[in-house]
Structure 1
Amino acid sequence: MKNLYFFILLCLTSVVAIGQTEGITYQAVLVDNNPDEIPGVDVPSSNIPDQPLTIRFSIIDAFGFTEYQETQETQTDAYGTINLVIGEGQRTQESSVNFNQINWDGPKTLNVDIDLEAGTNFSAFSSQSLNYVPYVRHRNLVADGITNLNSTLNVNNQSTANFDGDVNIDQVLTVEDEANFFDRVTIDAAMTETDQANIDAYPLQVTGSNQGMAIQLNTPTAFRSNNFISFWNSDDEAIGRIEGFRAFTTVDNGDVIDILFLSEPDEDEAKDREDDDNAPPAEAPAELDIYATDTYSMDLLLEIIDLYEASAAFGVNLGACIAGVGVAGDCDDAVWTAFALYLRGVQLTYFVRYNETNTGVAFESGGADYAEWLQKNNPNEIMSFGDVVGVKSGVISKNFADAEKFMVISKNPIVSGAMPKAEEEYKFKKVAFIGQVPVKVLGEVEKGDYILPSGNADGMAIAVHPDAMRVNDYKRIIGVAWESYHGDELFSYINTAVGINSNDLVQEISQMQMVMNQMQEAMVQTNPSYVPHYFDVENVSLSNTVQTTRSKTMQQVVMQQYGIDGNLTTQETFSEINTLIHSEAMKNSFFDFSELPYLDEVLTNPTEENVAQYTAFYTNAAKRLRDLVGGN
């Protein structure tokens, strides 16, 4: 009699985890539907113990494709039962993914096949829907209430975890790979450590590399209006920044001309403004705003104004030349103003080129001096900002009445050098070397007064007018007062420029030289054979020579460098200048003289009509642009 065997599915449960293995528990009983007959006993069926067999599990997706398939060889126990974990078997070639890569979104079907002949003759046993998806295998999990995870949450297989709301993390967040943030990151950390010398006092720490932090802006050119880092206090006041260091240098003279004359008022409006003495300056067009982004860009606009004014001056002098002796004659003013026009264009070119090739960052701060840490003579001596200190061999003290130099304790330097170790900082103090710094000054002060130590070794200073200075005072100068004070306070903090008074003895030396000249004059009168050696002094030059060393003018340098003969006619000189202009345009790409309207026509064909048109154009352009800048 043929025996028929079948499985009774007893249990299909959730995921188990054994070491690194995950799967679905599966339990069944092998039953013989044709058991041996026993006289007098009704035996409908019996379990089959110790039976070897092969099980094949197939997980089918919603489209009927086999997503995963495996086989397992097993044996029933003494009660005919088998206990398996789907996921621990031998994956077959029919599988499209591994078990841990199954996408559990959507319906799944579990097909079970059995084989009692060593895996060569499988028979279908069951096919049933998987209505319960293992919880750790969910791809889309919707929780309408609070969800508590009492263990680790792992997102595997390079999958993505998306959060549409806030994520609160009360413990340490560890990210072992790159982290990308596409919106603002705010760190609001209440640090228990506050010592600036302790790294744990800082909410943001960058460690683990030989490099620190890189900041990249979304602009290829960082102007002064582009800040890499800005510093704010708790009152939301900006107190410093590290900004781009590059001017607006995209020079297009045509754009400036268009801005000028597209915004030019009509004739009636211009006349009304001219007749009204109280009329406000004309409002600058919005297109000029790009030049007002920083001081360097504004300087560029002022360079363009100088160029236009030089052009207008050249036109005026050339017009006078034509009306007088004519271009063929001697028109020195026209020639020199033509050179001046060329030089203004060259200076504009150099200005732009320098800003194009010298880029970087600038540090902006409310501090106004550069300071260095200098060692105190007595580590316990108390010093505060504004105190005057004497310096001897790099050591400072308020008690030095005589010193090599007198300086002042800085309040808020923009940069501090020679920083000591934290544990030795009490032995040092920041001393202003150059810039502006407040100084404690006794009595009244006038702008321009010299600030000297009081002479009492008390850390105070006094103000002395330049006319009241004595020779021995000059070596004691701390700086020059840049503000006045006429109050009745015992002392005041005076903004003082330090480190810039390098020519203060000029007046004293000049007076000494004048006296020596007078003495030599007296010696000549008593001894005619005496040969005097006079000094050139202010306003008086007994030797009839120049009083200071001077260079050649830029026009003379140009003529010498390019071999231009000073005896050429005006027309010939204009031709040489025109050659220089075209040569300059070929040497650089920052500014082209051909952008100046009417210039080429005037240089090659200086008729009265061409000169009049040229002069009117640049006179109007220079005035219009200067008015707009003034009104801006």
Structure 2
Amino acid sequence: MRKSKIFFVQPDPSSSNPRKSKFNLGYIQSGFYLNLFKCLVFLIMAIGASSNLYGQIPSAIVEFEGKTGILIPRVTTAERDAIVDPKDGQLIYNMTDDRFYYFSDITDTWRRVSIDGDTPPGSTGTGEIPHQPSLGADWNVRGNEGADVFSSDPPLLGNTDYKPIVFITDDLERLRITEDGIVKIAGDLEVGEDLTVKQNVFLNTEGGSTSINGPTTVGGPAMNPATFTGPVQMDKTLNVDGATTLNNTLDVDGVTTLNNDLFVTGMSSTQLTGTLDVDKTLNVDGATTLQSNLDVNNMAPTHLTGTLDVDKTLNVDGATTLQSNLDVNNMAPTHLTGTLDVDKAFTVGTGSTAMLKFDPAKNLTSEDAFANYPLQITGAKQGMAIEVNAWQPDRNFIAFFSKGKDGTGAVEMRGRIEPNNNFLVNDFQMLAENLADPDMASESPDGSVQADDDTTFNAQAGVDANSMTMLPASGQTYSEINGEQLAEFIVLCVELIGAAITLGTSFTSIFDPLDIFEAALALAISAANLGMYIGFTLANLGIAYESGSGDYAEWLPRADTTEILHFGDVVGVIGGEVSKEYILADKFMVVSAAPAVLGNMPQTRHESKFEKIAFMGQVPVKVRGTVHIGDYILPSSDGDGLAIAVHPDKMKVKDFQRIVGIAWEDSKKENEKDLYQMINTAVGINQNDLARVIDQMQLVMNQMQEAIKEVNPAYEGFVFDTDSGVNGVNLSPDFTVSASHRSKIEEYFADKTYETQEELGQLVLDALVDVAGVNLTEIPVLENMLTNPEYAQKAQDYYAQKLVEYKNWMEQLKRNN
């Protein structure tokens, strides 16, 4: 039987042409079920066209019945592509790849009907829109091989319109893909392998919890940080390899172990409500605020390299070691209830407000016990040194005040610290020694002197030329020197220089041994005063006395304001004025060294016109010769400020009204060769009251002897020297004078002869040694000047030059004052 084409037609009600039109199955969206349906329809039609095995089925449009199948048009790929104007749903069999294809108007391509499960690989990615699948992209009814390997033509499962896709089991919705691509899963989701999420993940939005059983890495690059908006609970270890930034509170209920550094930056606070245990170093770069105690236990040291500010109490139970300064500012008090031990210098404050104040409650009155004194200094071989910066002589090194009975007000009481050491630097002691050194006394034009043995001595020997000259330059000051002591020192030097000039003038111009002797003795006394001042006042070279601040003194006016007076000088008082040149005076008193109480204080600018005179108590007095306790201390009557000691059994009547005081110590045998010694003397005991009575008795006896002499001119009576005197009677002084008194020196020189100036000088030297007891070894300039007239002239010129220099320095001190 010949084969022929069969057309299946159906009237088309919408067509105006009554002729037959092609069979139209209508538009059905392409897909897996559509392809299956098409195959079934053509199969039925083929079977129905050949035979009717089961009878006609009224409900079907076309019925195929038979046992041989239906043959679809078979073409090659080229023939398929050559079909003109294919219609949607048109079916062919491609003999090139042995596959069924249908034409789709949606994609305007031939789509393969997948059956055998050899679907080609698909796209390299998902979610790429728009996506138009190619010919072999439909899902295989038997499943697809290589579906997990994506290429440019992936297998597709779904729809092509804006509708959701729903997956159900047990007639219940389990998974929904919305028309926007959102995947919603009604039940649990179990992922057997890796889960990669490129965007945000929201967990437990309506409840529940998230459990992570394995290692978890949170975060990525710096631009993709992990953010937790709610609490994060971790039952086990949290390992963080990178940096951790906390913008809010970190609450840790258990133990926290940090194996590396902990940095809290951004000026953020770190609050620890419990104990902070640090096994090793705790480094804090910024400010640290502790609201409670800071305990450092186990005797462990605490090292602070910067400032420690404590607003309130700092309690330290153990020893505290400060390697640097301890500053207590804002005028805040520092209270120490225990002992303060300071190994080195202790400096209190700077500037004009610095003050060290002791105000203890100790009120023990016994002055014999060391422990009863509030300020105690023990140890070492020295006591206490005070250095002040003022040059003015009206400044005190130390002042004493006593409160009134009611505890208010104050009475100034002056005293001194014994021994007082090194008020002047050693250079000035060397200067004083140079003034009494014969090698310093005469300068040749080349700056040297020529001694008797033709040995050359430098005029600046013993003085470093690089460090200083004989006198400091104008404007130069020495902080070690107090102005009052320096002025006293210069005055003594000027006195010595003047005495040396006077001696040189007397010895080279006149031949009166008495005048030369008095000039030489004045030089010896000046040298002794300077040495005593340096030894006692400045250097404390073993010379001291124990009566410090032991007298009551008053300021009395000087008879001669240019006269040089020093403590220990004996002065006469006439009309309330004092002078050591008053040989016959109303009373003889002593210049006080350190009065305990000083009255009649003048204004400061007038102090130079007054002198402190001891009225009562114990004072040091310059005494010549041997002294025993209980000796009366009398003026030397030489007008040199020195005193002599007279045993009570050897006192003359006129001596009693000239008594200065009573010696309360013996002179020292080792110092007997000194011109004088400082002797502790009690003054003001009214020991002169008997003198007037005795003087009146002697006056009566003189008058009686005068009457007897008138009756018997041959009568040789003894006339007493009284203040009233006797007319016509030549009386010699009847009071004790020193061995160097002019009357005794006149007797000494009365039978002495000399031929040359050198012999005269030797005669005076002998008198100085034999009569005045001068130790020439301590004043070698005397021997050189009196044995060498040429040397004396050079010495006079040298001292004249030094006198100008010292007076200039004195003027500088006055300007500083």
TM range (shorter): 0.3 to 0.5
Structure with bigger helix share is 1
Bigger relative contact order (CA 8 A; separation at least 6): 1
TM-score (structure 2 length as normaliser): 0.30
Report which of the two structures shows the higher radius of gyration computed on alpha carbons.
2
Question: Which protein is richer in strand relative to its size?
Answer: 1
